[in-house]
Structure 1
Amino acid sequence: MYPNLLKKRSSLTPNRVALRFNEQAWTFEQLYNEANEFAEKLHTKGIRSGMRIAILASSNPQLVIAIHGCMQLGCELVMLNERLTEEELNFQIQDSHTDYLLVDSLEKRSLAYSHKLSFEEINLAVQTTFKIEKDWFKNRTITIMYTSGTTGNPKGVRQSLENHVMNAMGSAVNLGIQPNDCWLCTVPLFHISGFSILMRSVVYGMTVNLHAKFDAEKAVEEIMSGTVTRMSVVAVTLERIISVLEARNLFFPNTFQSMLVGGGPVPLNYLERAIQRNIPVLQTYGMTETASQTTTLSSEDAIRKLGSAGKPLFFADVRIDGEEKIGEICIKGPHVTMGYVGAAELKNPLVDGWLHTGDIGYIDEEGYLFVVDRRSDLIISGGENIYPAEIEQSLVKHPAVKEAGVVGKHDDKWGQVPVAFVVLKEDVSEEELKAFMKTEMASYKQPVSYYFVEQLPRNASNKLMRRELFNCVQEMK
């Protein structure tokens, strides 16, 4: 058993600020009281402990209160991605066997679902008291989050109370907990990167400064003011923050402790530029099935092991599957999911206790993990393995290139060859990029074609959607 997280935190530090949004602030006691009020109103509407509740809403305080309210009531939360199409949302609602759907406004959400309630409807309801549990079973399912679905239908991943708590504890052991810690949250709360920040908040007693969405200018202003100490980003948002600092010739203050960067390999060019701007970047590696981080680079190794995702957190273990140095990354620990829901429910995610991630990487002689790429994104050309992320990292070294995405296309002679989609900072020709890449890597790795685009397709967590790039290549035939 673990304690009821928000109830326990509210009793320990009732007057500490839990949440800030724009000019508003909530203490842990206020957040607990408002969450309980919301839970009592849900109870009035017929929602009971053990029900599965899907939530479709923007990141704001009402969503935070709804999340904690559902947890107080003992419900399982299906966190829906705002950016999905109606067809994709309907699949997840049906696949998860959702009992009720909560939305931030009926006008905004037109999903045809009979058991649908808006936050406004719930807030207008009367309160019906129920017994709030002091302790929770550690294997209780807290959230269900669907994988990105970049290679077919997404799977609904169960994340237990133990998964969330042990992930938060592992992160705390790695980062340390400071009395003035405040996490700037610009990542969506429906994604594990955002939800895990809420979990750390109640476990650590830490303030969360919540933004509705990522804005590089606003993020820089808040960090420069000294009000926040930590932030989670992905490679593309890190680059946007760096660009703002470079344009203004600014350097992060020493009050800022760590910038956790996940969501895939980070170009070394970004990391080198970040160091120049005094950004303490800690590259991390994790996934929906591991309730966020599994490995994180410690601050003292940030420069010495540039490009590494670090060592496993205290309660996690990582190994490489395969006879070669580079192979599939496998993970074990109390933060790893025990299973899926819906169509994938019969699929056991573990093999002899290990989660096979589908990611490719290697562990160096000192035990540091380096993530190379997704196994499904591997390009095999003339029998040679080509990792798109390696090519992307080289491309962004060119001063005219802002972002790059690489995929393979069919070739009668070689089987597959790489092609590149490029977002530019300034004009550059395809010939110039080809000449540059000749100095960067072997000829068989170099893109045979370049497509200049305004932006790259990304999902809600800003991960590159290579499948869409591959579809573009297919359409160009």
Structure 2
Amino acid sequence: MNLADRLHAAAHRLGGRAVLTLDEAELTYGALEELSARLAGLLRCRGIGPGDRVAIMLPNVPEFGVVYYGVLRTGAVVVPLDPLLKRREIAAYLGDCGARLLIAWHAFAETAEAGSAGTKADCFFVVPGEFRRLLRRVAAEPAIAPAAPDDTAVIHYTSGTTGRPKGIELTHGNLGGNAATVARMHALGVDDVVLGALPLYHTFGQTCSLNATVHAGARLTLLNRFDPGRALEVIRRDGVTVFQGVPTMFIALLDHPGASDMSMLRVCASGGAALPLDVLRAYETRFGCEIIEGYGLSETSPVAATNRGGHHRRPGSIGWPIRDVEMKIVDEDGREVPSGEIGEIVVRGPNVMKGYWNDPAATAEAVRDGWFHTGDLGRVDPDGYFFLVDRRRDVIIRGGYTVYPREIEEVLYEHPAVRQAAVVGVPHPELGEEIAAVVALRTPVDGDELRDFVRERVAAYKYPRRLTFVDELPMSPTGKILKRALTP
């Protein structure tokens, strides 16, 4: 089934109900279906058909849904791009996937045009108001292109900044199945309002917010960009029941002076990075709501495992695999390790990507015997709960001892003065690597005091010898701390 069929089915049932809102702007299911069909008609007139790549560079606006489902409706492939990309990044992605068209938000027109120059992609700009007037002059494309489960629907590019960009091919089966699973696990229904704080160009926001909302017939209320005060305002104004976010969002809300009781939130789900246990506990004690932590990567569409609510939740863990998905912990030779031992997390199931676009060598390296090798280190307890330990590339070897940065970060977050923390290894002439911490504070604290706080709680070789205080840690657009951008 084409992902656009999900919208078509929902529009048939719920035509007059709102599906995408942004403050006063609103799209009903019926309007989203009609406008996406007209966008498909426009694309057909431009010669876009099955298998063609169409890049979209749009922020969190209702028009994103129109373009996304309109492209899929033609059988073409969506290539979502961060609207804040620079010219050379845009050129690299467009050139790599051979995009025929770039549909961009009007505010980024200059950069989009510069990035597309010299590629095969034409540019089309979305201007509010004018966009709808244009589409109303175009005949709707009545048919939805048929799609097999293994037909590529979306190519997501990895966030790495070095080497050749890798495009993750996700199929209609990958994305549709994952969205349906999320909707089922969260018991999403027509009365739910989902906070659209996650970027829609990213897999997390696309699957868990947009596609899961449409699958369930719920409503997605959008934020152009995440701001804790604005998020609180929208949660209360629109009666949000489901909040999916990354740890930095939950931390920012925790620190906001206007935050109070949030027990109206039926589901709070965290992913994208490890959630500090101290934050999870604070939400329960201060706000009266439970955060469910999950795990996944863009290559797994993205959800691979998650906690379940109530007594099925194990704080600090990423839960257990979702339906039809398998996970295990393996050593460097691919052999499964005993319970409690640390190894690499590998995933197998219908959520695993088709492969990396035009990169069979990278695909063969990542997917072996059907198992996707995540590069993440974890362990599993005797009850089958998985725990994320760290990224393999982030592990620090200090004087022959292995140090997992996440363990030290968890301790730093326990200190009431710490708002954000990242631990990295820095070169050392004798030890190989030394442990350094970069910290943003909510209240002043002396460096020696913070260092002693950690030293009292971990082995002597683990505490950070170097401490750097900053106002804010560098973040990716999806809310992950960019360790490669730190200068400890």
Q: TM-score of the superposition, structure 1-length normalised?
A: 0.92
Report the Cα distance in structure 1 between the residues aligned to 2:238 and 2:98, rounded to whole angstroms.
Answer: 45
Cα-to-partner distance string for 1:364-386 (whole Å, 9 max, x where unaligned):
11111111110010101122211
Residue number in structure 1 paired with 2:410: 393
Matched, 1:328 2:344: yes
Matched, 1:53 2:54: yes
Report the Cα distance in structure 2 between the residues aligned to 1:151 and 1:369, rounded to whole angstroms.
Answer: 31
Per-residue deviation, 1:226: 6.4
Residue type of the alignment partner of 1:382: G
Report the Cα distance in structure 1 between the residues aligned to 2:319 and 2:165, rounded to whole angstroms.
Answer: 28
Indicate conservation of the 8 Å contact 2:90/2:116, yes or no. no
SS at match of 2:245: strand
Report the Cα distance in structure 2 between the residues aligned to 1:363 and 1:213, rounded to whole angstroms.
Answer: 36
SS at match of 1:93: helix
Selected match of 1:139 from 150, 173, 177: 150
Selected match of 1:297 from 307, 326, 335: 307
Per-residue deviation, 1:84: 2.7
Instruction: Return closer, same or farther for 1:406/1:268 CA change in 2, 3 Å cut-off.
Output: same
Report the Cα distance in structure 1 between the residues aligned to 2:162 and 2:294, rounded to whole angstroms.
Answer: 23
SS at match of 2:66: helix
Report the Cα distance in structure 2 between the residues aligned to 1:151 and 1:403, rounded to whole angstroms.
Answer: 26
Instruction: Return closer, same or farther for 1:154/1:250 CA change in 2, 3 Å cut-off.
Output: same
Selected match of 1:113 from 113, 116, 129: 116
Indicate conservation of the 8 Å contact 2:51/2:77, yes or no. yes
Matched, 1:340 2:356: yes
RMSD: 2.1
- Which range is displaced more, 308-317 or 101-110? 101-110
Residue number in structure 1 paired with 2:334: none
Report the Cα distance in structure 2 between the residues aligned to 1:65 and 1:345, rounded to whole angstroms.
Answer: 35
Indicate conservation of the 8 Å contact 2:49/2:76, yes or no. yes
Residue number in structure 2 paired with 1:71: 72
Q: Which residues of structure 2 form unaligned runs of 5+?
A: 332-336
Per-residue deviation, 1:65: 1.0
Residue number in structure 1 paired with 2:296: 286
- Which range is displaced more, 191-200 or 8-17? 8-17
Per-residue deviation, 1:131: 5.0
Report the Cα distance in structure 1 between the residues aligned to 2:326 and 2:152, rounded to whole angstroms.
Answer: 22
SS at match of 2:99: coil
Residue type of the alignment partner of 1:422: V
Residue number in structure 2 paired with 1:415: 432
Indicate conservation of the 8 Å contact 1:264/1:371, yes or no. no
Report the Cα distance in structure 2 between the residues aligned to 1:204 and 1:239, rounded to whole angstroms.
Answer: 28
Report the Cα distance in structure 1 between the residues aligned to 2:126 and 2:184, rounded to whole angstroms.
Answer: 37
Report the Cα distance in structure 1 between the residues aligned to 2:6 and 2:480, rounded to whole angstroms.
Answer: 30
Instruction: Return closer, same or farther for 1:249/1:163 CA change in 2, 3 Å cut-off.
Output: closer
Residue type of the alignment partner of 2:215: V
Matched, 1:430 2:447: yes
Indicate conservation of the 8 Å contact 1:174/1:314, yes or no. no
Q: Which residues of structure 1 form unaligned runs of 5+?
A: none
Selected match of 1:456 from 473, 483, 487: 473
Instruction: Return closer, same or farther for 1:15/1:315 CA change in 2, 3 Å cut-off.
Output: farther
Instruction: Return closer, same or farther for 1:134/1:202 CA change in 2, 3 Å cut-off.
Output: farther
Matched, 1:234 2:235: no
- Which range is displaced more, 379-388 or 330-339? 379-388
Per-residue deviation, 1:267: 1.0
Matched, 1:308 2:317: yes
Report the Cα distance in structure 2 between the residues aligned to 1:384 and 1:108, rounded to whole angstroms.
Answer: 47
Per-residue deviation, 1:14: 2.0
Residue type of the alignment partner of 2:155: I
- Number of equivalent positions: 467
Per-residue deviation, 1:297: 0.8
Cα-to-partner distance string for 1:450-475 (whole Å, 9 max, x where unaligned):
11112111111111111222xx35xx
Cα-to-partner distance string for 1:160-197 (whole Å, 9 max, x where unaligned):
11001111222233222334112101111110111112
Cα-to-partner distance string for 1:118-144 (whole Å, 9 max, x where unaligned):
124876375255451274322121111
Per-residue deviation, 1:67: 1.0
Deviating above 6 A after TM superposition, structure 1's stretches of 4 or more consecutive aligned residues are none
SS at match of 2:372: strand
Residue number in structure 1 paired with 2:81: 80
SS at match of 1:111: helix
Cα-to-partner distance string for 1:215-251 (whole Å, 9 max, x where unaligned):
211222333456111111111111111122xx34611
Residue number in structure 1 paired with 2:463: 446
Per-residue deviation, 1:89: 2.0
Report the Cα distance in structure 2 between the residues aligned to 1:172 and 1:161, rounded to whole angstroms.
Answer: 16
Cα-to-partner distance string for 1:70-96 (whole Å, 9 max, x where unaligned):
111221011111233222222111111
Instruction: Return closer, same or farther for 1:393/1:109 CA change in 2, 3 Å cut-off.
Output: same
Matched, 1:175 2:176: no
